[in-house]
A = this chain, B = another copy of it.
């Protein structure tokens, strides 16, 4: 059994980690910390876990995190960078669900996250936890930077095109729609039911923290800088991201085949049949990314644009599920262990 600790489990990625770990045959939850809620039973805060999680939140100072094999950080940005060092030095492997170790360029990270980085040397060491790209590095990593939700959906969607050098890399467009849980469990006015329900708006078109993360990932695949317009939208769903991706084709090929071959060995990427329209509920509560490639072909369309549809559950493949997938890789388990939940439809 893998002894697991969680730092900061009162948010959405925390409760989702708990849901998945409670069903994982090889994980044993040893500690979950919360400064504010120390002493509260986890299942008093989340009655959905009654009968499944018996632990109480414990104070970070007195928690047996160093006796764990792996510690997940489900904390706001800026926490993990201060605490990971001690754990890694103690031989504990760390999976950070926040953004602290995602951006290799520390100056750029500091610009976007508006704080001084506390552990630049760990940034250099951290493996970026997009399993479908980085599997080998993750297996041996001491520290994994779990990808953001939008970056997961967008990178997996663009990946085959960029690797194949098939599209104009200077003008990629990612129009992404996210459920409200993507913004976390913070009590903020714009996330109230009364504000977010029956409503839709774009945000962050002029700059969003996931933009440099996506660009870094795509640039690594391409071996060069990429130009990207990223337009996220807040949509009235609890869970789900639908990324609609547009690129200008520069090299013709059979895109359906390209995608199917690229992801043939990835259990958690499902290339839908040509002509499909994946809906977000088809991955609800499941650790899957479903993608479909469209090539509008009508002559008058000047048919040189490819449209890719990529859906994930932002809480699972976009956060906690992917974190468990990383854990599986790090501990030599089959990648799918404990992640076989079927999507909840309807």
What B residues does A229 contact at CB under 8 A?
246, 296, 301, 305, 307
Within 8 A of B (CB), among A70-118: none
Interface window among A128-136, A143-151, A199-207, A323-331:
A199-207
The smallest C-beta distance from A280 to any residue of chain B, in angstroms, reads 5
Check if A189 sits within 8 Å of B192, measured CB to CB.
Answer: no
Check if B199 sits within 8 Å of A237, measured CB to CB.
Answer: yes
Within 8 A of B (CB), among A246-305: 246, 248, 270, 272, 275-286, 290, 294, 296-298, 300-302, 304-305
Check if A202 sits within 8 Å of B344, measured CB to CB.
Answer: no
Check if A48 sits within 8 Å of B343, measured CB to CB.
Answer: yes
The reply to whether the CB of A35 lies closer than 8 angstroms to some CB of chain B is no
How many copies of this kind of chain does the complex include? 4
The reply to whether the CB of A239 lies closer than 8 angstroms to some CB of chain B is yes
Q: How large is the interface on A (under 10, 10 to 19, 20 to 34, 35 or more residues)?
A: 35 or more
What B residues does A341 contact at CB under 8 A?
23, 341
Check if B278 sits within 8 Å of A19, measured CB to CB.
Answer: no
The reply to whether the CB of A240 lies closer than 8 angstroms to some CB of chain B is yes
A1-44 toward B: CB 8 Å interface, digit per residue (1/0)? 00000000000100100010011000000000000000000000
A180 CA / B297 CA spacing, docked (Å): 27
Interface window among A55-63, A157-165, A169-177:
A169-177
What B residues does A294 contact at CB under 8 A?
205-206
Q: Evaluate whether A198 and B345 lie within 8 angstroms (CB atoms) in the complex, with A206-B296, A294-B205, A305-B173 already known.
A: no
Q: Which of B181, B192, B206 contacts A185 (CB 8 A)?
A: B192
Q: Evaluate whether A200 and B302 lie within 8 angstroms (CB atoms) in the complex, with A15-B345, A296-B205 already known.
A: no
A109 CA / B51 CA spacing, docked (Å): 38
A60 CA / B147 CA spacing, docked (Å): 47
